[in-house]
């Protein structure tokens, strides 16, 4: 037998909730509300940690230098003693202060000693060049914005573009992310690509460099995400 008293006890509160919220339903389903929520989420994304991180990266871009441009430290050459014992006739540097460097030096020395003496220097230079190039690309990737990657790919596909055209492409970013690009204008955004030797600016036009093209190859080979924020 049905317990109508129990049913009524359950139905009345539920019915009251439906009665109360039904007039509000048309506002919840209103497309304009959903559009407003979407816009709010977009704005919040810039002002939350993503936006704060972007501002921090912009500051890093303003003061960064690509490690691939580093020169061999003269201090190391000056620290090599001229009258001390050497290994197989070759002078050795004092132990590195970092244990990790000491371990890698030991492993590399063993690998180099196993090579034909005629190609030791050539192989060492090649390995150093590849290591620096990868370190430089990793440094750039950790700081580059998605919009800058898009710009590099566009330059690689379309060829040189004028400064006026480049600024025109930059304008939507100022509208979409005002919190970032009000403080980081086009000069900083494009200037960082120049300082990283990814693009050049000559005769009023921007053009991708060979290093910039190699960076795009690096992205393709490593499968790193190109659709980075901002």
Q: Structural domain boundaries of the chain?
A: 4-46
pLDDT, residue 78, reads: 66
CB count within 10 Å of CB 124 equals 14
Helix locations, 48-119, DSSP H? 49-63, 74-79, 99-113
pLDDT, residue 155, reads: 97
pTM assigned to the model: 0.69
CA distance to 4, 6, 12, 184, per residue, from 1 (Å): 9, 12, 20, 74
pLDDT per residue, tens digit, the chain (230 aa), is: 445 444 434 444 444 433 333 443 443 344 443 443 344 334 434 444 456 677 777 777 766 677 777 777 766 666 665 544 455 556 678 888 999 999 999 999 999 999 999 999 999 999 999 999 999 999 999 999 999 999 999 999 999 999 999 999 999 999 999 888 888 899 999 999 999 999 999 999 999 999 999 999 999 999 999 998 88
Contact 66, 197 (CB under 8 A): yes
- Tell which phi-psi region holds residue 204, choosing left (phi > 0), alpha (psi between -120 and 50) or beta: left
Half-sphere exposure of 148 (CA within 13 A, CB side): 25
H or E element at residue 229: none
């Amino acid at each position: 037998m049905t317990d109508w008293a129990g049913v009524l006890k359950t139905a009345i509160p539920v019915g009251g909730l439906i009665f109360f919220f039904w007039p509000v339903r048309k506002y919840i389903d209103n497309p304009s509300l959903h559009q407003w929520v979407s816009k709010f989420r977009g704005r919040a994304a810039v002002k939350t940690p993503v936006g704060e991180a972007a501002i921090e990266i912009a500051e890093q871009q303003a003061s960064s230098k690509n490690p691939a441009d580093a020169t061999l430290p003269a201090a190391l050459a000056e620290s090599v003693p001229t009258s001390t014992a050497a290994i197989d006739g070759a002078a050795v540097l004092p132990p590195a202060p970092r244990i990790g460097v000491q371990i890698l030096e030991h492993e590399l020395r063993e690998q180099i000693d196993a090579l034909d003496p005629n190609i030791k220097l050539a192989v060492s230079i090649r390995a150093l060049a590849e290591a620096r190039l990868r370190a430089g690309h990793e440094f750039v990737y950790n700081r580059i914005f998605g919009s800058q990657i898009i710009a590099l790919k566009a330059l690689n596909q379309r060829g040189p573009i004028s400064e006026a055209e480049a600024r025109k492409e930059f304008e939507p970013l100022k509208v979409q992310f005002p919190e970032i690009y009000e403080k980081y204008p086009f000069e900083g955004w494009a200037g960082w690509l120049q300082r990283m030797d990814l693009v050049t600016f000559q005769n009023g036009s921007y053009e991708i460099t060979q290093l910039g093209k190699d960076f795009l190859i690096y992205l393709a080979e490593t499968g790193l995400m190109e659709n980075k924020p901002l």
